[in-house]
Amino acid sequence: MAMSYRELATRPVLAWCVVTAAGRLPVAMAPLALVFLVRERPGGYSLGAVLAAAYVIGEIVAAPVLGLRMNAERARPQLVAGLAVGAAGFAGLGLAPDAHPVVLAAFALLAGAGPAAVPGGLRALLTSLVPERAVTQAMSMESVLTFGIWAAAPALATGLALGVDPAVPLLLQAVLMGFSVAGLWLLPAGWSAEPQGEGASVRRALLRAWPVYVLGAGALTLLALAELILPALLEQRGIAIGWAGPLLAGFSIGSAVGAFVYGLRGGRWPGPLPVQSVVLVLAVSAGVALVALLPWTAGIAITLAASGLLMAPAMLTRNLALREILPPSALAAGYSVMYAAVGAGYAASGTLAGGLLKVVAPSTAILCGVGLTVLLTVVGAVGERRSARRAPELQEEAASEVPDASDGSGGAEEVERKVRR
């Protein structure tokens, strides 16, 4: 029986929410804050794009590397170090806004790379704070919190940069990450994990989960399309570009509602998680494609909100599927690899969109991006189907690697655990 959201309102979970919000708000503010920091320089917007790219590259490269090195039972020192490095990077940007572009790029890279594995570690920590039957609700709550942060971050970064000073958002980001560091002592030092053996075993487990990463990357390409091409699409339709903000806010609100609704039933929806994920991503793809074809503002708004409603459950099913596949000791690394994969999907879609907009209409660029998403979804779905067919072989392998139950060493339980995974 699934728990209600009300039962998640425990002191450890609420402390986790505060720490997570303080650590993720700087991440959500970063791209726009970097653009505003240098926009008044000659070629400022181009430099801002380069700094944002450096930040994202730091995240993508560092997330799997640092995630693999995270010690599940003693994760706090690594989480503290990551957030502290991120805070230092943001502080450097805020305190030296007139520095040479190479110096600013180095600070941006540091700010992105330092805390790249923190979201994965915090997600693994969250699932250890609640009973097994409440994991879906907990991850749904995390998704609602995340989409709320991403909805508020652009307005906060813009307001501070234009209303106070372009360096203020970066300094605030440094302070927030420092606050998140202090808050980690309100949480457990780590989470319990089953012995995983050599690092090669962890890497093999992560590699076997590649279809999950591909599907996650496919879902984020849709978000990139919605955010990056929408202003150009509105201009093509003769709609005031000022509608872009409210339309994207509707998408984020729809996503938060979708995450909440998905968690109400504790994940008890028809079909296994991989099937749910594929269906949801394809449904969002259809919605984004419809946005490219509709000529009316109201129609675009309704379609974007409906797409957002399905986007959050699509991502949730990916994270829940990853949790089923990986052992506890590899969860932080798995979530970090997922973080890098979806970041790469976002970046790839943005690059594709930027190139296509030079040669085709915005509506056509969106349809091409949707085609990329469908391709990634098909590849991931085929990969998961092949993995399911190999399950009997993996069960035999798991059984052969554990001790015999007759020696009293718990072999039967170990076989059951490995077969389940």
User: How far apart are the C-alpha atoms of 303 and 286, rounded to whole Å?
Assistant: 10
Please report whether residue 403 resides in a domain: no
Which among 167, 179, 153, 172 has a CA at the least distance from the CA of 96? Answer: 167
Please report whether residue 421 resides in a domain: no
Chain centre distance of CA 242: 27
Q: Which two tokens stand for residue 352?
A: 């594709």
Residues 91-110: what's their mean pLDDT? 94
Amino acid 86: pLDDT: 95
User: How far apart are the C-alpha atoms of 282 and 288, rounded to whole Å?
Assistant: 10
Amino acid 19: pLDDT: 95
Please report whether residue 397 resides in a domain: no
Same domain, 240 and 328: yes
User: How far apart are the C-alpha atoms of 132 and 129, rounded to whole Å?
Assistant: 9
User: How far apart are the C-alpha atoms of 152 and 140, rounded to whole Å?
Assistant: 19
Please report whether residue 95 resides in a domain: yes
- Calculate what percentage of the chain has a pLDDT beyond 90: 22
Contact between 33 and 159 under an 8 Å Cβ cutoff? The reply is no
Q: Let me know if 242 is exposed, middle or buried by CB neighbors in 10 A (0-12, 13-18, 19+).
A: exposed
Model confidence band, residue 416 (pLDDT cutoffs 50, 70, 90)? very low
Residues 146-159: what's their mean pLDDT? 85
User: How far apart are the C-alpha atoms of 184 and 171, rounded to whole Å?
Assistant: 21
Which domain, by its residues, includes 2?
1-192
* pLDDT over 70 at 403, yes or no: no
User: How far apart are the C-alpha atoms of 118 and 108, rounded to whole Å?
Assistant: 17
Is residue 238 classed as helix, strand or coil in its secondary structure?
coil
Q: Range with the lowest mean pLDDT among 63-77, 87-101, 122-136, 386-400?
A: 386-400
Same domain, 357 and 224: yes
Q: Which two tokens stand for residue 46?
A: 């181009």
Is residue 219 classed as helix, strand or coil in its secondary structure?
helix
Amino acid 2: pLDDT: 54
User: How far apart are the C-alpha atoms of 264 and 267, rounded to whole Å?
Assistant: 8
Contact between 335 and 283 under an 8 Å Cβ cutoff? The reply is no
7-22 core/surface letters (b: 16 or more CB in 10 A; e: else): ebeeeebebbbebbbb
Model confidence band, residue 148 (pLDDT cutoffs 50, 70, 90)? confident
Please report whether residue 334 resides in a domain: yes
User: How far apart are the C-alpha atoms of 115 and 33, rounded to whole Å?
Assistant: 17
| Tens digit of each residue's pLDDT (9 = 90 or more) over 105-140 | 999 999 999 999 999 899 989 988 888 888 888 888
Same domain, 67 and 153: yes
Same domain, 262 and 335: yes
Same domain, 236 and 322: yes
| Tens digit of each residue's pLDDT (9 = 90 or more) over 329-374 | 788 888 888 888 888 877 777 777 777 777 888 888 888 888 888 8
* pLDDT over 70 at 65, yes or no: yes
Contact between 281 and 314 under an 8 Å Cβ cutoff? The reply is yes
Same domain, 185 and 201: no
State the average pLDDT for the chain: 82
Contact between 322 and 209 under an 8 Å Cβ cutoff? The reply is yes
Amino acid 47: pLDDT: 85
Provide the residue type at 227 as one letter.
E
Q: Which two tokens stand for residue 35?
A: 């653009």
CA separation, residue 74 to residues 57, 103, 193 (Å): 27, 33, 10
Please report whether residue 103 resides in a domain: yes
* pLDDT over 80 at 37, yes or no: yes
* pLDDT over 50 at 45, yes or no: yes
What is the tally of structural domains in the chain? 2
